[in-house]
Amino acid sequence: MSTLVIVESPAKAKTIEKYLSEVDPSGNFIVRASVGHVRDLPKSNKKAIDIEGGFVPHYEVVPGKQKVISELSSLAAKADGVLLATDPDREGEAIAWHIAQELGLKSPERIVFYEITPEAIAEALKSPRKIDDNLRYAQEARRVLDRLVGYDLSGLVWKKVRYGLSAGRVQSPALRILMEREREIRAFVPETFWVITAQTKTKAKTDLTLTCSEEPRDKKLVEKILDAVKQDGLTVSSVTEAEAKRAARPPFTTSTLQQSASSRLGFSPSRTMQIAQRLYEAGHITYMRTDSLNLSAGARGAMLGLIEKKWGKEYVQPRVFATKSKNAQEAHEAIRPTHVDKLAAGTTPEQKKLYELIWRRTVASQMADAKIMRTKVEAHTKDTSIPAFAATGSRVIFDGWLAADVAARGEDVELPKVSGGETLAVKDISSEEKQTTPPPRYTEAGLIKELEKRGIGRPSTYASIMRTLEARGYVTKEGRSLKPTDTGDVVSTFLETYFPTYISDTFTAEMEDELDQIASGERQYEKTLKDFYGPFQKEVKKKDKEAGKITDLGPAPAEFMCPICGSTMVYKLSRGGKFMSCARFPKCTGARTAEGLVLSNEPSKPIGKHPESGEDIYVLSGRFGPYVQLGEQKKGSKLKPKRASIPKDKNLEEVTVADAVKYLSLPRELGVHPESGKMISASVGRFGPYIVHDADFRSLKTDSVYDITLERALEILKEPKKKRGFARKKKE
């Protein structure tokens, strides 16, 4: 007898096969991987979903997966039974269902485990079940819903803003949150204030720095405070000490792990999930997509034993944390080490760092409160109208859970001993002028926290939201901060203006709740989608008629006048980014960047002449970015002057005649192919440098498009051509 066990990941398959050999040494289990999804919706929405038929999705085999399916089918036909052991969430349930459909399994059995250990796998084998249709329908509903919203909204954005942009059900509310903060920053008016600091000495001749408790906005008040302290000095009015407790934090959920890994380790959410996936597949941590704070009784018992042994009985504090989310459903437990006695795990430095972070947070969650002694010294002048000066300090008197999570401790700040009524010798008093600052932009960790707080998205979606916003060009990273781009601004403004309901917090969160209700069997798949899509489609059609083409982003600064007619300028959005155009366009074609570079076909001053033709060379820019142009357009001629793109990393002010000649040398004819007799050319296109022969395009990864030889081009053309779509899908 033999049993085929199917999982998603080859790494996971390897670990499970190893443990199954321990559970059953006779070797009756064969473990294979589907390598992720085997089916997906086709790109065309017309083929993907039968809306009138009840929102029935028409799935297609993922390109390149037919070989995997064939192998699994062959093994399943020979096996006495098949167990589908995909991940324990909706996505895993859907993958299991798709595998069963493609393999034609009549009575597929499903097993789930939340950690890859011999014990968990042995327990799962005792209780196989059927595929949970409710979970599968919930995943399908999310997939169909996101496709319908994205397809219709993106189509309208293409039409009204710019081709190639996109809008999504969850991505758009996230972008809106970023833009709301950006508008706060733009509208912020800084105020001047002063920080007043006094350097003093106590009776015991120790230094004590005190800061004025008020930060005056009025310079006269600043002078009054400075004069009062210089004249009267400072006298200690009170010394207070109070013991405070710092409670241990709960173990990690997906959201808090991504936030902590971002702030402490500098990992992006996507990177964090990739590393956590490897740790899970290797059996080091429990399932990493979860919004549960629960820890199993066995795991907590093991932690309490370790804590008592490592730090002492006084550090032990059993805790059970209540999960905040009313619909926590992705896993039964928080993220924790599978074996708490394993202090380190992972094969790469990144895996080891993330494992240590998880280990420390989990163990600390079962430890006693830390005790902190907080001290505050206040001092006054004789003039009671002058604000108090104060100094605060704190020191750990019992580290508790901080013994495990040392990075959370911070530094002790101890104040010198003083007593009430003591006169302090003022050595120096100064004021520093400062300005209030706008609220900070969100980091990825901050945005994830905000999305979770508002009920937008679920554990499995946070990383993809961050990735999509950046990939679409809606945000850029400045350090760790997410700054909306001009494109992101325009798209968000358009959606906020015409579809405020569908990108609101309330609607998005309620939709997530409805998907959760499908998973629990409380709602029906078809009715949920029908209730949403009918009104939504009507709204899209209505706004299509109401909304005009969005190009103008508002007036440009007054100092920027049209380089041709002298009229006012307006900001516009094109594929090349944000630029300024004459308000009289198309009657006047004048345009320029914010730096003042003329962008129209009306030439500016040439940078020089071409050494061979003697024609003027201009540096210009247009819809698709900056370029060099040879000569001018002749009146009455439809032939445009020769142009060539300028590399993105090139400073436009530094473009020389030699550079321009180099750019204009493309496309280069390298020579005739010896077999076909057709020309081989090298050039730069939308996706970068390439060579082409008889409609066979090959990207240049390391070769220079300006220097590549015919011989080298022939070598590249002999190489097997990679299938772009399959390679990308496999990587994902």
More confident residue, 564 or 627: 627
Tokens of 456: 């937008």
Tokens of 726: 């399959």
The residue type found at 161 is V
| Same-domain status, 379 and 241 | yes
Residue 669 has pLDDT above 60, yes or no: yes
- Helix or strand holding residue 691 (H, E): strand 688-693
Residue 723 has pLDDT above 60, yes or no: no
In this predicted structure, what is the pLDDT of residue 25?
Answer: 76
- Helix or strand holding residue 696 (H, E): strand 696-699
| Same-domain status, 213 and 272 | no
In this predicted structure, what is the pLDDT of residue 578?
Answer: 67
- Side-chain half-sphere exposure of 453, counting CA atoms within 13 A: 8
| Residues found in the chain | 732
Question: What's the pLDDT tens digit per position in 348-367?
Answer: 999 999 999 999 999 999 99
| Same-domain status, 42 and 97 | yes
The residue segments making up the domain with residue 712 are 668-731
| Same-domain status, 468 and 424 | no
Question: What's the pLDDT tens digit per position in 589-616?
Answer: 677 664 444 444 444 678 889 998 889 8
Average pLDDT over residues 100-115: 93
143 in any annotated domain:
no
Lowest mean pLDDT segment, chosen from 457-466, 624-633, 687-696 = 624-633
**Alpha-carbon dihedral 550, 555, 559, 560, rounded to 10 degrees:** 10
Which CATH number covers residue 172? 1.10.460.10
Asked whether the beta carbons of 332 and 350 are under 8 A apart, the reply is no
Asked whether the beta carbons of 237 and 379 are under 8 A apart, the reply is yes
How big is the chain by its Cα radius of gyration, in Å? 33
C-alpha 277, offset from chain centre: 17
CA nearest to 2, candidates 74, 80, 99:
80
Average pLDDT over residues 264-288: 94
| Same-domain status, 234 and 382 | yes
Q: How far apart are CA 492 and CA 504, in angstroms?
A: 12
- Given 364, 398, 423, the domain boundary residue is 364
Q: How far apart are CA 161 and CA 172, in angstroms?
A: 15
Q: How far apart are CA 134 and CA 253, in angstroms?
A: 23
142 in any annotated domain:
no
Residue 537 has pLDDT above 80, yes or no: yes
| Same-domain status, 232 and 303 | no
* Domains of the chain: total: 6
Q: Is 343 left (phi over 0), alpha (psi -120 to 50) or beta?
A: alpha
In this predicted structure, what is the pLDDT of residue 629?
Answer: 86
Three state DSSP letters for 641-684: CEEEECCCCCCHHHCCHHHHHHHHCCCEEEEECCCCCCEEEEEE
Average pLDDT over residues 303-326: 90
Which CATH number covers residue 416? 2.70.20.10
β strands within 515-655, DSSP E:
552-555, 569-574, 577-582, 591-592, 608-609, 616-622, 625-630, 642-645
| Same-domain status, 313 and 300 | yes
CA nearest to 291, candidates 505, 510, 135, 448:
448
Catalytic residue among 114, 280, 287, 474: 287
Average pLDDT over residues 9-26: 87
Question: What's the pLDDT tens digit per position in 128-149?
Answer: 999 999 999 999 999 999 999 9
133-160 helix and 525-546 helix, angle to the nearest 10 degrees: 0
149 in any annotated domain:
no
Tokens of 244: 């405070």
**Alpha-carbon dihedral 513, 514, 515, 521, rounded to 10 degrees:** 110
> What residues are paired with 374 via a beta bridge?
242, 394
- Residues in CB range of 93: below 8 A, 6 or more apart: 86, 110, 131, 132, 135, 136, 139
| Same-domain status, 217 and 167 | no
Q: How many CB atoms lie within 10 A of CB 688?
A: 10
Q: How far apart are CA 240 and CA 379, in angstroms?
A: 12
Tokens of 32: 């294979």
More confident residue, 580 or 524: 524
Residue 312 has pLDDT above 80, yes or no: yes
**Residue for token pair 């003022």:** 426
Question: What's the pLDDT tens digit per position in 63-86?
Answer: 999 999 999 999 999 999 999 999
- Given 309, 336, 364, the domain boundary residue is 364
Tokens of 345: 């795990």
Clarify whether 690 is annotated catalytic. no
Average pLDDT over residues 487-497: 88
**CA distances for 49 relative to 58, 137, 204, angstroms:** 6, 14, 81
The residue type found at 702 is T
Lowest mean pLDDT segment, chosen from 181-190, 533-542, 637-646 = 637-646
Lowest mean pLDDT segment, chosen from 241-245, 341-345, 518-522, 626-630 = 626-630
| Mean pLDDT score of the chain | 88
Alpha helices by DSSP H, listed for 8-126, are 10-23, 45-48, 66-78, 90-103, 118-126
| Same-domain status, 316 and 218 | no
- Given 344, 364, 384, the domain boundary residue is 364
Residue 314 has pLDDT above 50, yes or no: yes
Question: What's the pLDDT tens digit per position in 611-656?
Answer: 988 898 888 765 566 788 888 767 667 677 888 888 877 777 788 9
| Same-domain status, 566 and 647 | yes
122 in any annotated domain:
yes
